[in-house]
Structure formats: structure tokens, C-alpha cells
Amino acid sequence: MTAAKPLRADAQRNRQALISKAREIFDAGDFDLRFDDFARLAGVGIGTLYRHFPTREALAEAVYHGEIAALCDRARQLQATLPAEKALATFLRGMVSHMDAHQGLARTFATLMATRSDALAEGSQALEQTVTDLVAAAVRNGSVRDDVGAGAVMMALHGIGAARDRPGWRAQADGVITLLLDGLRRPSSGERESEDVSTSS
């Protein structure tokens, strides 16, 4: 398959301006804005908008890809600078902070999910691979148990996101992450011996 032709510098700037403005609009929860108005607010022409993004869904998908790429980059930075278990914990707590700070975006992405967007599926796979890498690194250094996979962590994150309209959501979400991290932690030898004694008695 022939690779897509790289965009000219001005075309790339226009595309990025549209994505940046759309991110602001979606984050503010302004779902009633006419699609054509995205062009005006981004400072580009209507033709430029439709050339890059023929539909609102296509623009939302581009915003979503950018968010996922930023989260994955953040995970790689954490892995490069922190012990594995600290990188995992910091990333998961950061995910909750991101959901809290960008609730409008979360609702936009939930709308994408309802349309069974391929972009959302690809983004979810990329995010799950990132979590898989974080968990695997913590398993290798012995800080995380090896009988719980990244799928369980993703289920917890999806559940946290789905419950974001609950009263007191942020405190409860932080509590779920604490429970998750406690559950993932590999018991010390002393704790394992205590568990063995309790099981046998």
C-alpha cells in the first residue's frame, strides 16, 4: 500500500490548529456547536476543515489519537525515569487526574464508542499495550504479582471512567486505584508465609 503523502508545512499547521481548537471545544462540553464553526474558531477556511476532516466524528477521532499518543508518551517517560512499580502507580493515578480534568473529552470519546469507531478501538489497543508494558516491567522487578494481567487493570480504568457521574467520583476513583495497586503488589516473603499458615490452619 502506498504511504500517504506528507502534508505541506502550512497544511500541517492548519490541521493542528483544527485539532487543538476541537480539543478545547470538546473539553468544554460544547456539543451543540455547528461543525462549520470549527473552521472559524480555528482561523481556517471551511474548505480546509472539510479537506482534513469531512465529519465531526473524523475530527473527534483525531483529537482522540492525540490524547492516546500523549498518554503513551507519558508512560514511556515514567518508565525511563522511575522504578517500575512507581511508574505504574504514577501512570494510573495520572489517568484518574486526566479523566477528572477533561470530562468533556471523556464524553466525546464515549460518543465515539457508541458509534463503534475503529479509531477508538485502535486507541484502546495502544493504551492497553502501554499498560501491559508497565505491568510487565513491574512483574520483572518483583514488585507486582505475576498472576494478574493488564486486562484486569484496563477493566478497572474503564469502570472508573464509566462511573464519572457519581457524586464524589474523584475520591472514589482514587480509592479504586489504591485498592488496585494494593492488590497488584507482590506479597513479601513474610506475608506469603503468613498466608500459607492461615490457609493450612
Does residue 192 fall inside a structural domain?
A: no
23 shares its domain with 118: no
pTM value? 0.82
Q: Same domain for 119 and 138?
A: yes
Side-chain-side CA neighbours of residue 91 (13 Å): 32
Q: Are residues 49 and 144 in the same domain?
A: no
| pLDDT tens track for 129-182 | 999 999 999 999 999 999 988 899 999 998 998 888 899 999 999 999 999 999
What is the rounded distance in angstroms from the CA atom of residue 172 to the CA atom of residue 132?
Answer: 24
CA–CA separation, 104 and 29 (whole Å)? 5
Within a domain: 4: no
List pLDDT tens digits, range 65-124: 899 999 999 999 999 999 999 999 999 999 999 999 988 887 777 666 666 667 677 778
Distance CA 153, CA 131 (A): 8
Q: Residues 92, 166, 27, 127: is their CA dihedral positive or negative?
A: positive
Is 167 found in the same domain as 100?
Answer: yes
Query: 12-44 burial by CB neighbour count: b if 16+ within 10 A, else e?
Result: eebbebbbebbbebbbeeeeeeeeeebbeebeb
